[in-house]
Structure formats: C-alpha cells, structure tokens
Structure 1
Amino acid sequence: MSWFVSSAPLQSSSLRPDPIPWIQETYLASLEMQLLATVVLAVVVLLGFGAASRFQDVVRRRSGTQLAEASSVLFLGAVVVGGVYAFSVIWHVTFVLEYTLRTMAIDRWFAAQQLVTGAIVLTAYLAIRFVNRSIDKLSQTRAITRHQSEVAYHVSDVAIVALAAAMVLTLWGIDLTNIFIGAGAITAIVALTARETLTAMLAGFILLFSRPFHVGDWIEINETTGIVTDVTIFTTKIQTFDDKHVLVPNDEVTNSQLTNYSQNDQLRIAVDVGIDYDDDPEHARSVIVDAVEDLESIKNAPNPQVVGKRFDDSAIVLECRAWIADPTMRRKHDAQTDVMDAIVDAFDREGIEIPYPQRVHAARNDGFRIEERRARKGAVSPLED
C-alpha cells in the first residue's frame, strides 16, 4: 500500500495531460474495457508494422535504399513508443514511465557528450557516403580503374572511421597514448612475421596508383607473357597465350623488367627473309615494300621498311619492319603470316630466289691432294715391312 501511495504523485505528471485522466475514468475504468482496449491496441500496432513495410517500399522507389531504411526505422520506433505509452494509459501505469525517465535523468555535460558523439558519427557517415559517391563518379569517367576505386573505398572509409573514433574517444576522456603504443607494437610484430605479404601489399598499392598497365593489357614480366585479367592488392593475374593462369606477386612485378605491348596502341613486327647473293638487294627491298604496304593487317603509318640485317652463310638477310594497330597476339601472328605470304608471292613473280642453306667447297693452290692406298688380297701389310 505504501508503494501505491508514494507513487501517486507520479501519476499527476506531464505524461497524463488533461484528456488522459478523463478517458481513463470514463472508458477504461473496468477490467473488461481495459482488455478490449489492449486487443485493439495490439491490432493497431500490427497494422503499424505492416504500414512501415509499405512505407519503406514507397520511399525506396523514390529516394533510394538507405533513406528508405532510415525512414522505416523511425516509423517503427514511433509505433513502438506510441504503443508502449498507450498500454500504460490503458492500465493506469503511466507512473512507471515517469519513474523510468527520472531514473535515466542525466546532467548537461553527459547530454552534450552524447549529442556531440552522435553528431560525429553522423558526420562520419555522411563523409563516407560523399567520398564513395565521388569515387564512383571518377570510376564512371574512367579517371580511375575499378581496382583503384575498390582500394580507394577501403582506404577512405578506414581513414574516416579512424578519425571519428579518435575524436569520440578524446571527447569521452580516454587517453589515446596507450592505444597508439599498443597499435605500434602490433604493427611491428605483424611487419616482422608477414614481411613478404606486406611487401606485396605495398607493391600492389604502387601498381594500382601508378598504373603501368590496365586489365586487358598485353604485358611481359620476366618469362611470363599474356593478358592481365585481374590486379589485387597482393598479386597480378595473367592469362598466357597457351591458356594458363599465372599469379605473379606484385613485389616481383615492381622489381622486374615490365614490357607493356598495349601501351602505345601499335606494335612493330619484324620478318626476316634471305635472298641469294646473285640477286640485287635494293630491288629485293623495293619488291618487299610494294608487296606488304597494301595489306589490311598492316598500318599505313608508319610505312613498312626493309633494311639489310646481316650476311648469312648462304643468303643476304633482309628484315621487313611493319606496324600493327591495337596489338594482340592474334593480330601479330596474322600480320606475320600475311607479310610472309606476300613476300613469297612477290619473289615468285620477280624471280627472286630464297636460297636453301648450302656450302661451297673451293680448292686452293694445287687443288685437293688425295692419297689412296689400295689394299689387295695377299699383299704385305705396311706394318709388316
């Protein structure tokens, strides 16, 4: 009885404005009416949950997923708070809510800390969304690659979250010195135990931002030649021309000689051809140029060139140089085949011979001296003389 008496003053509070006591005395005085009102309240709350789902769908179609989820949470929170308050009114227990609120009473400094913390968290969330959208726009304009955008997402998000966390911890009076010391010790341990992994990761950042090649480029690293299919923080994936998938560590890529055949959008091919020493090299060069300059697989600019390369054992070797556009291994092979076929056809028409390897033995002075020793049956061997 003393508990109800002490709690009576709580009932005449701001949670029971003028209409509420009259409603309680008029319509909620009996147990039957309270039960009926509770059932009606439960139905209303369930309908509110269903309305929240439809409301979320409408907002999602108009404003996007994130705003729809935030609006749905606020709507459900309002339904729950309203349901709890209505239940306390039905059963005349609003003093319980008043007692709970008084228990949760906080001073101004604590409230200010909470408000500033919420503002920091909200600002960090908005900053992350702004930075990510900016990265998406840069990726759409191809100012950065997809892999660079993924790395930029993670780096920017981690940096913003770390800055916000440091500000919140400082606001609540937590000393960051011990945290930094612990983080430094952990970093040193990780650096010693995973040195190769960290080296590959740093090399991955260098590749992603220096961009010596892109996905789809034809590159050569040491003895590996193929098309780049993926670039991660740790490895570069290359598909070779015999359909092998090779994972090359990024530190090996940065420490090795790299050739990018797709960098200049053109590639020079070279085809060697030999002519007989009796043929005219100048005429042969002009025949080769006329034969290959009109090929569809060869670029007109720069023009094909033919230069003398060396004196071989049985031929004068000429080198035909031509350029192809948008270099790939298939275009290179097709262009080489077209050049060789064109040269063979042109030499046949002009009567220029491509000699086979051969050797010519020439006598010096008195010619060859051949000593023949005949062994006859019954003759005395020279060893027996």
Structure 2
Amino acid sequence: MNLELSAVWTRMQNLLQTFVVTIPNILIGLLVFLVFMGLARLARNAVTSLSQRAGQSKGIALVFSRIVSWLVLAVGVLVALTVIFPTLTAASLFGALGVSGVAIGFAFKDIFQNLLAGILILVTRPFRIGDQIVSGEHEGVVEDIQVRATLLRTYDNRRVVIPNSELYTNRVTVNTAYPQRRLSVTVGIGYGDDIAAARALILKTLGGLDGLLQDPAPSVLVRELGDFSVNLDVRFWIDPPVRREAVEAQDSVLEAIRGALPAAGFDLPFPTQQVLFHDQTEATDGNRAQQREGWPARQDNPESRLELQRKGNREATDAQPRSQVQHP
C-alpha cells in the first residue's frame, strides 16, 4: 500500500514539475497569440480599407476581411502551439493536418460549399445588403451576407438564416434590383358596361394619385372574360420599388377605383351562379333516351317533366265542360 502511494506521489511530483517548467512556454505562447490577434485586426482593417478604395461593396469588404483575419489567427494558433510544446515541430503539425485534411474536407463539405457560394455571391452581386429579395417561401430585406449564410429580415420583423449555397443554386427574385417597379391589380366590371369608358375613367383616376409614375404611364388591359365579370388588369409603376411603397400604392389604387367606377354608373358585380333544372333548358331534358348529359339510356324511361306538364294541360282541357250553343 505504501509502495502504491509513493508511486502516485512521485507521478504527481513529476507532473507538477513539468507544469512549472511549461509555464513560461504557456505565457510566451499566449503572448504570441495576442500579437497575432492584433495582426489579424490590422489585416482586417487593411482589407476593408483596400476594398472601399477599390469601389467594392460593403459585403465583399466584410467577407474578405473576415477570411484574412481567420487565416492570420490560424497561423497564430500554430505558432503558439509550437512555442508551448517545443517537441511539436511545424513539419509534424502540417503533416498531421495533411493526413486529416481529407476527413476534415468531408466533414465540413457543407461549410466549404457555403463559403465558396458566399464569396461568389459577393463577387457576382446578384443582390446586395439592403435589397429586398424573395427566396422560396421567404421574403424580406438582406441584412448581412456572412461566410456561411445570408441573414434575411422579413417584413413582420423575423430573421431567416438562408445558407449561401441555397441562394446561389436556387432562384432568387430581387424586388429592388431596378429603380422602378410595375404593380398590377385586377378589377371586374359588368358585361353590360362599356370597356373603353371604364378604361378611360380608370386611367383618369390613376393620373390624380400621388406616388404613381406617369412615365411609364399606367395601362388598363382586358385580362379575361370571367364567370360573372369582365376582369381588367390595371398596371402602374412606382419609385422606389420597396415593399412598403408597393403595398401603399395598391391600397390607394384600389380605393380610388372602388369610389370612381360605381359613381360613374359602372357595375362591380358579385359572384353569381345560375341553376337550371332539366325542364328549363331543352325539350329533351329529363328524357334519358334523348338527353345529352351522359345519362345511360334505358327502355322504361320515366316521363319527363315537360311531358307530364303537357299531359296535365291536355287533361285539364278535356275536363272543362263544353258550352251549349243555342241556335235561333
């Protein structure tokens, strides 16, 4: 028992002596890492300044400054490790990294894919920070383009994190790519109304609204002949093309048209349906041997409503008493 305790004590003394000897190396390694942290910050500021001078966007400057900063920090970590552990040489360290590089590549495939996609998005500039985009089911304002993902703030003030690879490979609609945007609303008028007069009235109404551009000018086209109305497609342009302006412009247009058309005698019809019975359409309706609705023909067909009505009329006529005619 005493021998076992003495062995444990000896081992603890050796560990303590090793730690005491390693303390100066740890302090020097931490100092080296702090120096590299300062160098990483200087490198990040330098890349940001160079990008701004070159006329690059804020997103490109941000991503490349982060990449350079991380590279400098990675070199600082390697140098600090070689200082703390003198037996760990740079050759052995890079050799170990080379052996595990394949495994790391497979493990972080998605991260590297998103990193490359983020760089390509910043270089090709399909959209920028501050643009309003639509990606799949999400729509909002681009707040930040990071190395791994893009941050999107929706109009109801929620944050959506979208991987850069998804944005780069899938379809993205940029609503603010151009200074002007065309919007449209659908308005239905009655079949008895004059389309040309309704078009002229709508264009006159849109000409008096604020926030709508007159160059390009608004237009009114017949969209379709609906079930209960003639649907007109009212098109107009706004500037700037942001979501708030679009919603407010559509609201003002619909409100103005809603007041102008009925005041001028135009109808805004409600959905209506017409239900006809068999005996209200054709003479053969109700006769399953002759009707055209797809009923199977049979020999013992019941009499149609029209036939029953005719028979009833004949029986009523026969039942009436004949008038007595007296001759002089």
Please indicate the TM-score interval, normalised by the length of the shorter structure: 0.5 to 0.7
Q: Match of 1:290, SS?
A: helix
Kept in 1: contact 2:262–2:268 (CA 8 A): no
Match of 2:220 in 1: 306
Query: Residues 98-247 of structure 1: matches in 2 within 5 Å?
Result: 132-133=45-46, 135-136=48-49, 138-139=51-52, 143-145=56-58, 147-156=59-68, 182-247=96-161
* CA-CA distance at 1:289 after TM superposition: 1.3
Distance 1:342 1:207 in 2: 42
Counterpart of 1:290, as a letter, is: K
Distance 2:161 2:74 in 1: 33
Distance 1:255 1:311 in 2: 39
Kept in 2: contact 1:226–1:240 (CA 8 A): yes
Query: Residues 35-74 of structure 1: matches in 2 within 5 Å?
Result: none
Match of 1:73 in 2: none
* CA-CA distance at 1:144 after TM superposition: 2.1
Kept in 2: contact 1:297–1:338 (CA 8 A): no
Distance 1:358 1:236 in 2: 48
Structure 1 residue ranges without an equivalent (≥5):
1-124, 166-174, 373-385
Distance 2:45 2:143 in 1: 25
* CA-CA distance at 1:200 after TM superposition: 1.6
* CA-CA distance at 1:244 after TM superposition: 1.6
* CA-CA distance at 1:155 after TM superposition: 4.2
Is 1:276 aligned to 2:193, yes or no?
Answer: no
Q: Give the stretch that moved more between structures: 250-259 or 354-363.
A: 354-363
Structure 2 residue ranges without an equivalent (≥5):
1-37, 79-88, 286-303, 309-328
Match of 1:328 among 235, 239, 242: 242
* CA-CA distance at 1:352 after TM superposition: 0.7
Distance 2:43 2:149 in 1: 30
Distance 1:243 1:131 in 2: 31
Kept in 2: contact 1:287–1:347 (CA 8 A): yes
Counterpart of 2:107, as a letter, is: T
Kept in 2: contact 1:228–1:238 (CA 8 A): yes
Counterpart of 1:136, as a letter, is: S
* CA-CA distance at 1:132 after TM superposition: 4.8
Match of 1:354 in 2: 268
Match of 2:180 in 1: 266
Distance 1:161 1:233 in 2: 16
Distance 1:360 1:348 in 2: 24
Kept in 2: contact 1:304–1:322 (CA 8 A): yes
**Structure possessing the higher relative contact order (Cα contacts under 8 Å, 6 or more residues apart):** 2
Match of 2:169 in 1: 255
* CA-CA distance at 1:281 after TM superposition: 1.4
* CA-CA distance at 1:287 after TM superposition: 1.4
Q: Match of 2:209, SS?
A: coil
Distance 2:148 2:284 in 1: 72
| CA displacement 1:22-61 (0-9 Å, x = unmatched) | xxxxxxxxxxxxxxxxxxxxxxxxxxxxxxxxxxxxxxxx
Counterpart of 2:49, as a letter, is: D
| CA displacement 1:354-378 (0-9 Å, x = unmatched) | 1111123563334986489xxxxxx
Distance 1:129 1:228, change over 3 A: closer
Counterpart of 1:282, as a letter, is: A
* CA-CA distance at 1:212 after TM superposition: 1.5
Distance 2:130 2:74 in 1: 36
Counterpart of 1:360, as a letter, is: Q
Distance 1:328 1:234 in 2: 27
Kept in 1: contact 2:117–2:168 (CA 8 A): yes
Q: Match of 1:343, SS?
A: helix
Kept in 1: contact 2:118–2:146 (CA 8 A): yes
Q: Looking at CA atoms only, which structure, 1 or 2, has the larger radius of gyration?
A: 1
Distance 1:162 1:252, change over 3 A: closer
Distance 2:111 2:43 in 1: 32
Kept in 2: contact 1:269–1:332 (CA 8 A): yes
Is 1:319 aligned to 2:233, yes or no?
Answer: yes
Distance 2:170 2:274 in 1: 47
Distance 1:262 1:151, change over 3 A: same
CA RMSD of aligned residues (A): 3.6
Match of 1:24 in 2: none
Counterpart of 1:229, as a letter, is: E
Match of 1:365 in 2: 282
